Structures are given as structure tokens and as C-alpha cells.
Amino acid sequence: MYPYSFVSSHFLMASSVPKLLLAINFIAFFSIYLPSSTASVAAIARDREIEAGKEARALLQWKNSLDNQSQVILSSWDGSNPCNWVGIACDNAGSVTNISLGNYSLKGTLHNLNFSFFPNLVKLGLHNNLLYGTIPSRIGNLSKLAFLDLAYNGFSGNIPLEISLLSSLDHLAIDHNNISGTIPQEIGELRSLSQLFLHENKLQGNIPSSIGNLSNLVNLYLGDNELSGSIPEELGMLTSLHLFDLARNHLTGSIPSSIGNMTSLAFLYLFSNELSGSIPTELGMLRSLYQLQLWNNSLTGKIPDSIGNLSSMDRLHLFMNKLSGPIPSGINNITHFKSFQLAVNELTVNLPENMSWWIA
Ligand SMILES: *[C@@H]1O[C@H](CO)[C@@H](O)[C@H](O)[C@H]1NC(C)=O
Ligand SMILES: *[C@@H]1O[C@H](CO)[C@@H](O)[C@H](O)[C@H]1NC(C)=O
Ligand SMILES: *[C@@H]1O[C@H](CO)[C@@H](O)[C@H](O)[C@H]1NC(C)=O
Ligand SMILES: *[C@@H]1O[C@H](CO)[C@@H](O)[C@H](O)[C@H]1NC(C)=O
Ligand SMILES: *[C@@H]1O[C@H](CO)[C@@H](O)[C@H](O)[C@H]1NC(C)=O
Ligand SMILES: *[C@@H]1O[C@H](CO)[C@@H](O)[C@H](O)[C@H]1NC(C)=O
Ligand SMILES: *[C@@H]1O[C@H](CO)[C@@H](O)[C@H](O)[C@H]1NC(C)=O
Ligand SMILES: *[C@@H]1O[C@H](CO)[C@@H](O)[C@H](O)[C@H]1NC(C)=O
Ligand SMILES: *[C@@H]1O[C@H](CO)[C@@H](O)[C@H](O)[C@H]1NC(C)=O
Ligand SMILES: *[C@@H]1O[C@H](CO)[C@@H](O)[C@H](O)[C@H]1NC(C)=O
Ligand SMILES: *[C@@H]1O[C@H](CO)[C@@H](O)[C@H](O)[C@H]1NC(C)=O
Ligand SMILES: CC(=O)N[C@H]1CO[C@H](CO)[C@@H](O)[C@@H]1O
């Protein structure tokens, strides 16, 4: 028998109480006269209805904390069955799995969304709203979350350490907010992560070397922040990485040669930092490289001959550095360049004959 303790639950919506009491009588009746398996099925259905009621109540509590206009937008949010509300999807058992409210102009904070009530939530999509305040540490309670998108809002404060509890997370987007503080080292625990978007914030401090442990990472966007220190060598372990953006930060030191191990890399954006040293020869190992943007740094030395092996290259921007020496003749091998800019350098201009017009 299932305990009936839920009867005292204060989470039941007033309007659903009579219906539930009827259901209880019904179950109590049949559990006496029918085989226990039938009673269990009914009891499971009943438990699910109660869970859905808790989820509905938690969502309504959040709705009521948003501004009036947002409450109008969410006017379909009414009653005790959230599964047919705008932006909400449920599993077959009627438990909320997806909250998809991108581009809804919702205004308010997340502090009244009680994350303890969504044991089955896999997606929380709140892209491009007018949400503000901090990201609550209780977000770590969403134990099944795979997709979290808080981008294009006005969130501030730090990235909560509890985010590392979201072990199923595949997609984490917090870009285009006002997030400050450092990127927690604990982010390296999100082993399922394939998309990490933290760009256009006010993040400071070093890039944690633990990011090198995120072996499923495909897109890593950390650009347009205030990150400093050097690029950790461990990032070379990211062999699935397709796009790597560290542009417009305050990074110093040299480009680690381990980047040559990122064999899937197509886009490498390191422009507008304070990087020094020479361009590592190992970059020539990145056969899929399509855009290499290293402009506006303090890079020295000559352009490595290995660049000539990057036959897929479309865009090579090296201007505003302190490079010197001849331009490698192998660059002639790259036949479908769209944009090749080396200007504002100290390079000896002995470009392969028909390439001079590529210079900006
Ligand atoms: C929002 O609605 C409440 C109740 O209807 C009202 O008292 C309040 O003034 C409204 N606030 C704004 C900002 O319109
Ligand atoms: C929001 O709108 C933009 C621009 O129309 C669109 O590209 C984006 O996919 C939308 N996002 C969501 C989550 O609906
Ligand atoms: C969320 O719900 C839990 C369980 O009922 C409760 O203990 C907690 O105080 C609630 N938190 C907030 C912020 O409402
Ligand atoms: C819910 O979110 C997951 C994870 O992003 C996604 O794969 C799935 O298609 C979504 N389901 C619905 C019904 O939107
Ligand atoms: C970030 O904060 C600044 C000042 O506090 C504000 O002017 C700006 O609009 C905020 N940006 C976002 C995306 O909320
Ligand atoms: C990567 O994970 C391993 C195993 O959990 C751990 O020992 C190591 O310290 C991590 N590396 C970084 C750079 O965090
Ligand atoms: C690239 O990976 C290999 C094999 O994992 C390793 O031995 C080597 O040190 C790495 N190269 C760099 C430059 O980090
Ligand atoms: C070059 O990078 C610095 C930061 O290192 C930035 O302040 C400056 O605006 C950048 N210049 C251009 C032309 O983007
Ligand atoms: C280009 O690649 C070939 C084949 O992998 C290699 O033998 C050669 O040394 C590379 N050239 C340069 C300049 O790195
Ligand atoms: C340029 O291409 C030629 C012919 O395919 C090849 O022999 C040479 O090694 C290439 N040069 C570089 C620097 O990769
Ligand atoms: C440039 O030179 C290469 C080899 O020297 C040749 O194949 C190509 O057609 C030339 N391109 C133009 C635009 O003249
Ligand atoms: C049930 C559960 O996981 N509760 C946790 C929710 O998040 C807060 C803040 O991280 C924790 O203190 C709770 O234990």
C-alpha cells in the first residue's frame, strides 16, 4: 500500500482538492476489492498527479513574481496541469521536462522559481528576456538538466559553483549578460558539455585549466570578457573542439603549442589580446582550420612555413602584431583564400607574386 500522507500536503491547489479527494476514495475502494497490481497503477497515477500539482504551483509562484506584462504573456499559465501551458513540455507521466521561453520579454528574477520541484527538467531555455539578478545556486537542484540557456539577459553576480552539479549538462549558455567574477575551476566537472557560451560578460581572472577535461566540447566561446593570464596548455586536449574563441580579453603569454592537438579545430579567434611569443609551428597540424584570427596582439618571429599546409583556410588575419621575416611561400598553396591580412607588421613584403592584392 502507498502511504496517503499526501492528503495533508499544502501544495494542492484549492480547485483541485475535490477531484483529488474523489480519486482517493476511488483508489481506497478498489485497493480493497481488486488485485494489488491494479491498485499500484492507480496509486502511481495519483502520485504523478500530485507531482504535476507541485510543479504547477512552483511555476505559478514564479509567474506571480514577474512584472505585470510578463504575467499577461503567461496568461495560459493557469490551473494545475502545466503540460498545456505556453513554453512547457512534459513527459508521458505528466512531469515537466522542458521550459522553453526564449524571446518572451519576461522581466524579473529567478529567485522565486523553486528549482527543487522539477526533478525531470531537461531544458531551461530563457534566452533573450529581461531577466536580472543573480543566477541562484539552487540551480544545482536541477539534476537532469541537459540544456541551460540564460543568454541575452541582464544577469549579474558570479557563476554559481553549484552549476558543476549539473552532470548531464550538454549546452550551457550564459553569454551576453553582466556576469562577473571568475570561471569556477569546478566547471571541469561538466563532462557531458559540448557547448559552452560565456562570451560578452565581465568575467575576470584565469581560464581554468580544468576546461581541458571537457573532452566533448565542440564550441567554446569565452570572448569579450576581462580574462587574464595565459592560455592553459591543457586546452590542447580538446580534440573535438570546432570553434575556440578567446578574443577581446587581456590574455598574455604565448600561444601554447598544444593547440596543434585540437585536430577538429576550424575557427581559432585569439585577436585583441596581449599575446606574445611566436606563432607555434604546430598550428600547421590543424588541417580543418578555416579561420585563423590572431590580429591585434604582440606576436613576434616569422610566420611558420607549416601555415602552407592549411589548405582549407579561408581567412588568415595576422595584422597589428610584431611579426617579421619573409612570408612563407607555402601560402601560395592556399588557393581559396577570401581574406588574407598581414598589414601593420614589420614583415618583409616579398609576397608570392600574385598575392600582393590580398594585403589590406
Ligand atoms: C501590477 O498589477 C498590480 C495589480 O493589478 C497593480 O497594483 C500594480 O500597480 C501593477 N504594477 C505596474 C507596474 O503596473
Ligand atoms: C529568438 O529570436 C532570434 C531572432 O529572431 C532567433 O534567432 C532565436 O532563435 C530565437 N530564440 C529562441 C530560443 O526562440
Ligand atoms: C523550495 O521548496 C523547498 C521544498 O518545499 C523549500 O524547502 C524551500 O524553502 C523552497 N525555496 C524557496 C526559495 O522557495
Ligand atoms: C526538450 O529539451 C531537450 C533537450 O534540449 C530536447 O532534446 C527536446 O527536443 C525538448 N523537447 C521538447 C518537447 O521540446
Ligand atoms: C550591465 O550593467 C551595466 C551597468 O551596471 C548596464 O549599463 C548594462 O545595461 C548591463 N548590461 C546588461 C546586458 O544587462
Ligand atoms: C582532469 O580530471 C582528472 C580526473 O578527474 C583530474 O585528476 C585532473 O586534475 C583534471 N585536470 C584538470 C586540469 O583539472
Ligand atoms: C599532443 O598530444 C600528444 C598525445 O596525447 C602528446 O604526447 C603531446 O605532448 C601533445 N602535444 C602538445 C604540443 O601538447
Ligand atoms: C586591440 O586590443 C586591445 C586590447 O588588447 C583593445 O583595447 C583595442 O581596442 C584593440 N584594437 C582594435 C583595433 O580592435
Ligand atoms: C606539411 O605536411 C606534410 C605532410 O604531413 C609534411 O610532411 C610537411 O612537413 C608539412 N610542411 C610543413 C611546412 O610543415
Ligand atoms: C605546397 O604544395 C606543394 C605541392 O602540393 C607541396 O609539395 C608543398 O610541400 C606545399 N608547401 C607547403 C609549405 O605545404
Ligand atoms: C596565382 O598563382 C598560382 C600559382 O602560382 C596560380 O595557380 C593561380 O592561378 C594564380 N592566381 C591568380 C589570381 O593569378
Ligand atoms: C534537494 C536538493 O538538492 N536541495 C539542494 C538545493 O540546492 C541548495 C543550494 O545549493 C542545497 O542546499 C540543497 O541541498
**Residue range 181-214, pLDDT digits in tens:** 999 999 999 999 999 999 999 999 999 999 999 9
Determine the atom of ligand 11 nearest the C-alpha atom of 354. 1
Lowest mean pLDDT among 24-28, 83-87, 217-221: 24-28
d(CA 315, ligand 12 centre) in Å? 48
Domains of the chain, earliest start first:
10-147+156-172 (3.80.10.10), 180-360 (3.80.10.10)
Residue range 16-69, pLDDT digits in tens:
333 333 333 333 333 334 445 666 777 776 666 667 788 999 999 999 999 999
d(CA 303, ligand 9 centre) in Å? 15
Which pLDDT score, from 0 to 100, does residue 77 have? 97
CA-to-CA dists, residue 26 to 34, 42, 336, angstroms: 12, 9, 74
Residue range 314-349, pLDDT digits in tens:
888 888 888 887 778 777 776 666 566 665 455 544
Lowest mean pLDDT among 6-20, 52-66, 90-104: 6-20
Which of 351, 354, 357, 358, when mutated, tests ligand 11's pocket best, judged by the most ligand atoms within 8 Å of its CB? Answer: 354
Determine the atom of ligand 10 nearest the C-alpha atom of 309. 14
Q: For ligand 6, say whether the CB of 210 is within 6 Å of any of its atoms.
A: yes
Q: For ligand 11, say whether the CB of 332 is within 6 Å of any of its atoms.
A: yes
- pLDDT band for position 264 (cuts 50, 70, 90): very high
CA separation for the pair 298, 275 (Å, rounded)? 6
CA separation for the pair 138, 141 (Å, rounded)? 5
Ligand 12 pocket, CB under 6 A: 116, 137-138, 140-141, 162
d(CA 282, ligand 5 centre) in Å? 40
Determine the atom of ligand 9 nearest the C-alpha atom of 305. 13
Residue minimizing CA distance to atom 13 of ligand 11: 354
Alpha helices, H only, the chain: 17-33, 36-65, 68-73
Lowest mean pLDDT among 77-81, 97-101, 275-279: 77-81
Q: For ligand 8, say whether the CB of 274 is within 6 Å of any of its atoms.
A: yes
Q: Is the pLDDT of residue 266 over 50?
A: yes
**Ligand nearest, relative to CA of residue 281:** 9
Residue minimizing CA distance to atom 4 of ligand 10: 333
- How many alpha carbons fall within 13 Å on the CB side of residue 102? 13
- How many alpha carbons fall within 13 Å on the CB side of residue 355? 20
Determine the atom of ligand 8 nearest the C-alpha atom of 273. 5
* Residue scoring higher pLDDT (344 or 8): 344
Helices H, strands E: what count in the chain?
A: 3, 21
**Ligand nearest, relative to CA of residue 135:** 12
d(CA 140, ligand 3 centre) in Å? 14
Whether the Cβ atoms of residue 74 and residue 84 lie closer than 8 Å to each other: no
**Ligand nearest, relative to CA of residue 119:** 12
Determine the atom of ligand 6 nearest the C-alpha atom of 213. 1
Whether the Cβ atoms of residue 313 and residue 288 lie closer than 8 Å to each other: no
Residue range 164-178, pLDDT digits in tens:
999 999 999 999 999
- pLDDT band for position 12 (cuts 50, 70, 90): very low
d(CA 283, ligand 12 centre) in Å? 45
**Ligand nearest, relative to CA of residue 112:** 3
Average pLDDT value for the chain: 85
Whose CA is closest to 247, among 219, 267, 271, 268?
A: 271
Q: For ligand 7, say whether the CB of 257 is within 6 Å of any of its atoms.
A: yes
Determine the atom of ligand 9 nearest the C-alpha atom of 330. 13
DSSP 11: T
CA angle 294, 227, 218 (to 5 degrees): 65
